[in-house]
Structure 1
Amino acid sequence: MNRSLAALALLLLAPATAEARRPTAKTVTSLGMVSAADPRAAAAGAEILRKGGSATDAAIATMLALNVVEPQNSGIGGGSFMVHHDAATDRTTGLDGREAAPAAADPKWFYGADGKPLPIFTAIPGGRSVGVPGNLRMMALAHQRYGKLPWATLFGPAIRLARDGFAITPRLHNGLNNFGRHLDPWARAHFLGDDGKALPVGTILKNPEQAALFGAIAAKGPDAFYTGAVAQKIVAAVNGAAQNPSKMTLADLASYHSKERPPICGTYRVYKVCGMGPPSAGGIAVLMILKQLERFDMAALGKDSPVAWHLFAESERLAYADRDLYLGDPDYISVPVKGLLDPGYIAARSALISPERSMASVAPGTPPGAPPRTPAPNADIPGTSDLVAVDRRGNVAEVTTTIESYFGSGLSVGGVMLNNELTDFDFVPAKDGYLVANRVEGGKRPRSSMSPTIVYGPDGKVRIAIGAAGGSTIIAQVAKALVAVLDWKMSAQDAIGLGLLYAPKLDAVAEKGTQLDAMVPALQALGEHVQIAPLGLKANAIERVNGQWIGAADPRSEGVAVREDGQTTQIVRAGAAPRPPE
């Protein structure tokens, strides 16, 4: 198993299997709703909806609450992408809050003193992996455009959680056990006991530093983070890190801006699918997977067909190969978006897929407008969180947010963990005489797999909003769930819970403990090089069925969907009774 898949296996932190993953009750409503990976974060968003907030307001409040209760995966020390549907104008937009490299970063940023690229897990801890955080600037831009409530109001639930405390969950506890070794002194003192071990499940954890920081940002806006004393502390933390010190400046922080990006929209059968554009590879790759499958009757094959899963794996391979070669920051490289989604190119790539046999090899294609580029090795480290918010007016905000690895770089400022997002760059800047599209450059934003997606039905109304967490598996998770909902007519809840066949290369991984276990011999007979292993998956969705919203949350996680009146979706998780609302 390669290093990325090994990291994925470690992330099966909640003891759940796809079998016995069934909702005991569906939350169906025309009221607003939030689906998130933690019930307290979803409740924070629902509280904002009750106060008359928009979907964007609820999404921001949910993100802030996740920073408190799920500090291992997301927060204002990291970045995000949002895909937004405006019900009044029927307009879909994408907002880019991806972290950026300091201006001083160069193509050898992740090289050691020996002149060789650092191993990925050596590069993660410390300052050099930290990108200029983008979350707060993205939140502020989204709030300026789509918010209804005052900015400060959105911070209320998160400040209460940080000030009054919250109970440590099994996922946070297990994350500390597995990934807490590189925490800085503040984080070790905050999250670990006197014995150096993770605090027990159920321990009430308070974070007064974070409450104070959130209070300052609520009162003064994002500049309280990007300038002044907090910015000085960030620069001091990353540049003075004991391991891999950086060269970030106050100007790097002060000059960061969130950007609107054109969403990537295309059709899949009778549906319109819209996702995030570059520097996220998610929107393009998800749509490529779906389009390459369009000529096959996936509905007739069904979810129990090994051939259907084989076809899905083959389409994954082709999309991931193109992703690795062509995708990056569009402000720095030419990304052939139109060429990758060109009908003729999609048809040519799809023609490589056979129902009878796996491909002997897989390589990127040459879409129209493709620049001469060659890929270099890269490993996405699983982490991240996803959330969906809808309001009673029909607006939708789908957000994927991350600090990259568990607890990011291990560095903290003001009670907030700082990201290690720059390790999403390719470490080797050139190969075979060509510059790599995703090489490190000053000010550049690294390629991402985050795939916040909104799908519209034939009536033009939102059918489902969905996203996922889990490194490079995100693309496959979203594509799998959409095939399950749109072709196999599964509920969003069951589609998310369905096991994943993850195949970014010739080798594939069938998610352990799922319906795929029994299919492995049949998949191998089709030429699939497949092994069974756990995958660290986590998705959230809200779908519209018969004019009503239905929430869904991944049974592998601790997530729920909460309606604005407080009603919570219940999920059966393996080995446990349904958890009451928190």
Structure 2
Amino acid sequence: MEISQPARPIAAGVAASHPATAAAGMRILQAGGSAADAAVAAVLATCVTETVYTGLGGGGVATYFDAASGNVTCLDFFVAVPGTDGDVEAGPMVSVDVFFGGMPQVYAIGGASVAVPGVPAGCGEVHRRWGRLPWASLVAPAHELAVTGAELPAAHARTLESCAPALTYGSGAEVYAPGGRLLGGGDRLFHPGLATAMARLADEGPALFYTGAYGAQLVESVREAGGSIGPLDLANYRVLETPVDHATLGSYRVRARHDLSRTVDTIAALPANLTGLPRPERAVALASALRDLGRQKIGDTTNVSVVDPDGNACVITTTLGLGAGVWLPGLGINLNSMLGEGELITDDLAPGRRMSSNMCPLVVIDAAGDLALAAGSAGASRIRTALIDTLLGVLVDGLDSASALSRPRFHVVDDTVHAEPGYPTDELDALAAAGWRIQQWPEIDHYFGGVTAVAAGSAAGDPRRGGVGLLL
């Protein structure tokens, strides 16, 4: 079986996990902005509309494809380990149980879980390198959303229900459970003070959070909550350019950073004849490649994917973890809890060190050197699974991005295949015959990732996260 080639050039469009997020990016594309401009505007919008997943207090990574040169650049603006000031020792974290898939998973939040955030700096650097429009115009959609609040999609409400012990901790209660009732799908998500923060961000730029007034507030808030972030931690934070990995999938080249789950390595390790295998055999080969040593943290993450009319692409993934429950007073900004995410704690962590993550925004280049797909995903250790399934759906099975994202997926943990309802029975039978245990899930679930993708003639967001795609 030959890999399907796109019937027409890749679309110009925006894919995101909230309608208002996608609309923010599309507004910038329509104003003549680049893919980078639109992606930054969309990410800033997520800091208002998707705060169960991300925010200005989080971190992220970006992948940019320059159509004119064919160059791919990966930027790391994930969180950094605090403590370079050396004058404060962090106290204990606060343990919370999050029930996910019916099983409790222990996380830690509070001031000691807060790492140095990177979202403001990352957005600023993406704009500095590849933006066309003024910075303030990119913040404007997010500011407008912060003034009014935004509707909480039903998919986000399900995540909120799972993560409520963390998100409603402390000042989060008035945001996510006003009047003592947890927000549900269709309710308005509003952050008092966030409009003020966005207005100042538009005027003063990202330095506001590092060497400006909000940086000082961040240090004070974290230290009062038992954390150790200091002025030097913020002043010395830098966005890093990281090496770009590559793997081939038929005639395509996949380009992305090296992530904690080894997404690109996994693609490279797939059998050379994978694209020609019958689907049941392909499922067995894929499951073997995806075996991931049992990590299955929930991961509050989101992604935006943008392609502009010139064929440039910008894919950005950001996260808060579960959120530390440490809020900048009067500004509606929750800080990250990445130091409380067990699967991200590695032996080489030290003050000033950049933490690792599973995030892997990627681009796919065809044999002619043109962009064929821009995609990224939420979902912690399921990011790799969701992205590879999307690549196979679009590039091998010839599906449009919406069909590829909505079809059932499976994810491997140790010797168990976790499968969404509707996954083909013949493939599950082949997996069982090959020795895999099969765990059937009762419904399509946000556990299985949250992809956003722009491909030939289509753009889509994952229905598991309330995603949408818009074409220019």
TM-score by length of 1: 0.72
* Gap change, CA 1:299 and 1:383, over 3 Å in 2: farther
In structure 2, the residue matched to 1:574 is: none
Any idea what the Cα deviations from partners look like across 1:463-502, whole Å, max 9, x if unmatched? 1111111110001111121122222222222222222221
Q: How does 1:191-270 map to 2 (within 5 A)?
A: 191-194=176-179, 196-241=180-225, 245-270=226-251
1:146 and 1:129 map into 2 onto residues whose CA distance is 33
Q: 1:269 touches 1:294 (CA, 8 Å); kept in 2?
A: no
For 2:398, the aligned partner's letter is K
Matched, 1:316 2:312: no
For 1:298, the aligned partner's letter is T
Q: 1:123 touches 1:129 (CA, 8 Å); kept in 2?
A: no
Any idea what the Cα deviations from partners look like across 1:46-68, whole Å, max 9, x if unmatched? 10111111100000110111111
In structure 2, the residue matched to 1:329 is: none
2:109 and 2:92 map into 1 onto residues whose CA distance is 14
Q: 2:90 touches 2:228 (CA, 8 Å); kept in 1?
A: no
Q: 2:408 touches 2:423 (CA, 8 Å); kept in 1?
A: yes
1:538 and 1:65 map into 2 onto residues whose CA distance is 17
Stretch deviating more after TM superposition (257-266 or 519-528): 519-528
1:185 and 1:473 map into 2 onto residues whose CA distance is 29
Q: 2:10 touches 2:372 (CA, 8 Å); kept in 1?
A: no
In structure 1, the residue matched to 2:26 is: 46
2:264 and 2:465 map into 1 onto residues whose CA distance is 26
In structure 1, the residue matched to 2:101 is: none
In structure 1, the residue matched to 2:102 is: none
Tell me by how many angstroms 1:199 deviates: 3.2
* Gap change, CA 1:542 and 1:213, over 3 Å in 2: same
1:398 corresponds to which of 315, 320, 324: 315
1:265 and 1:385 map into 2 onto residues whose CA distance is 23
Stretch deviating more after TM superposition (198-207 or 224-233): 198-207
2:413 and 2:353 map into 1 onto residues whose CA distance is 25
Tell me by how many angstroms 1:537 deviates: 2.3
Q: Unaligned stretches of 5+ in structure 2?
A: 1-7, 99-104
1:504 and 1:453 map into 2 onto residues whose CA distance is 23
* Gap change, CA 1:516 and 1:424, over 3 Å in 2: farther
Tell me by how many angstroms 1:218 deviates: 0.8
In structure 1, the residue matched to 2:254 is: 273
Aligned residues: 449
Any idea what the Cα deviations from partners look like across 1:122-151, whole Å, max 9, x if unmatched? 652201211100111111111111000000
In structure 2, the residue matched to 1:543 is: 455
2:29 and 2:97 map into 1 onto residues whose CA distance is 45
In structure 2, the residue matched to 1:410 is: 325
Query: Aligned-residue CA RMSD in angstroms?
Result: 2.7
In structure 1, the residue matched to 2:54 is: 74
Q: Unaligned stretches of 5+ in structure 1?
A: 1-27, 322-376, 429-436, 565-582
Q: How does 1:366-515 map to 2 (within 5 A)?
A: 380-405=297-322, 408-413=323-328, 414-424=331-341, 438-511=347-420, 513-515=421-423
Stretch deviating more after TM superposition (166-175 or 145-154): 166-175
In structure 2, the residue matched to 1:57 is: 37
For 2:414, the aligned partner's letter is K
Q: 1:450 touches 1:469 (CA, 8 Å); kept in 2?
A: yes
In structure 2, the residue matched to 1:98 is: 78
1:452 and 1:300 map into 2 onto residues whose CA distance is 27
In structure 1, the residue matched to 2:435 is: 527
- Give the secondary-structure state (helix, strand or coil) at the position aligned to 2:237: coil
TM-score by length of 2: 0.88
Q: 2:108 touches 2:341 (CA, 8 Å); kept in 1?
A: no
Tell me by how many angstroms 1:187 deviates: 2.1
For 1:542, the aligned partner's letter is V
Tell me by how many angstroms 1:288 deviates: 2.3
Any idea what the Cα deviations from partners look like across 1:378-412, whole Å, max 9, x if unmatched? 7643220011111111110011111122xx11222
1:403 and 1:274 map into 2 onto residues whose CA distance is 25
1:29 and 1:215 map into 2 onto residues whose CA distance is 38
1:276 and 1:445 map into 2 onto residues whose CA distance is 14
For 2:243, the aligned partner's letter is P
- Give the secondary-structure state (helix, strand or coil) at the position aligned to 1:556: helix
- Give the secondary-structure state (helix, strand or coil) at the position aligned to 1:88: coil
In structure 1, the residue matched to 2:3 is: none
Any idea what the Cα deviations from partners look like across 1:149-179, whole Å, max 9, x if unmatched? 0001101111011112322332343333332
- Give the secondary-structure state (helix, strand or coil) at the position aligned to 1:124: strand
* Gap change, CA 1:219 and 1:118, over 3 Å in 2: closer
Q: 1:552 touches 1:560 (CA, 8 Å); kept in 2?
A: yes
Structure (1 or 2) with the larger CA radius of gyration: 1
Tell me by how many angstroms 1:276 deviates: 1.5
Q: 1:166 touches 1:204 (CA, 8 Å); kept in 2?
A: yes
* Gap change, CA 1:466 and 1:438, over 3 Å in 2: farther
1:426 and 1:440 map into 2 onto residues whose CA distance is 13
Stretch deviating more after TM superposition (148-157 or 411-420): 411-420
1:522 and 1:31 map into 2 onto residues whose CA distance is 36
2:273 corresponds to which of 285, 292, 296: 296
Q: 2:25 touches 2:42 (CA, 8 Å); kept in 1?
A: yes
* Gap change, CA 1:518 and 1:527, over 3 Å in 2: same
Stretch deviating more after TM superposition (287-296 or 91-100): 287-296
Tell me by how many angstroms 1:110 deviates: 9.7
* Gap change, CA 1:203 and 1:315, over 3 Å in 2: closer
For 1:292, the aligned partner's letter is A
In structure 2, the residue matched to 1:153 is: 137
Q: 2:255 touches 2:364 (CA, 8 Å); kept in 1?
A: yes
For 1:131, the aligned partner's letter is A
* Gap change, CA 1:188 and 1:119, over 3 Å in 2: closer
* Gap change, CA 1:395 and 1:197, over 3 Å in 2: same
Matched, 1:187 2:164: no
Q: 1:35 touches 1:541 (CA, 8 Å); kept in 2?
A: yes
2:187 and 2:415 map into 1 onto residues whose CA distance is 44
Tell me by how many angstroms 1:206 deviates: 3.6
* Gap change, CA 1:111 and 1:128, over 3 Å in 2: closer
* Gap change, CA 1:185 and 1:404, over 3 Å in 2: closer
For 1:65, the aligned partner's letter is A
- Give the secondary-structure state (helix, strand or coil) at the position aligned to 1:503: strand
Q: 2:299 touches 2:379 (CA, 8 Å); kept in 1?
A: yes
Q: 2:37 touches 2:132 (CA, 8 Å); kept in 1?
A: yes
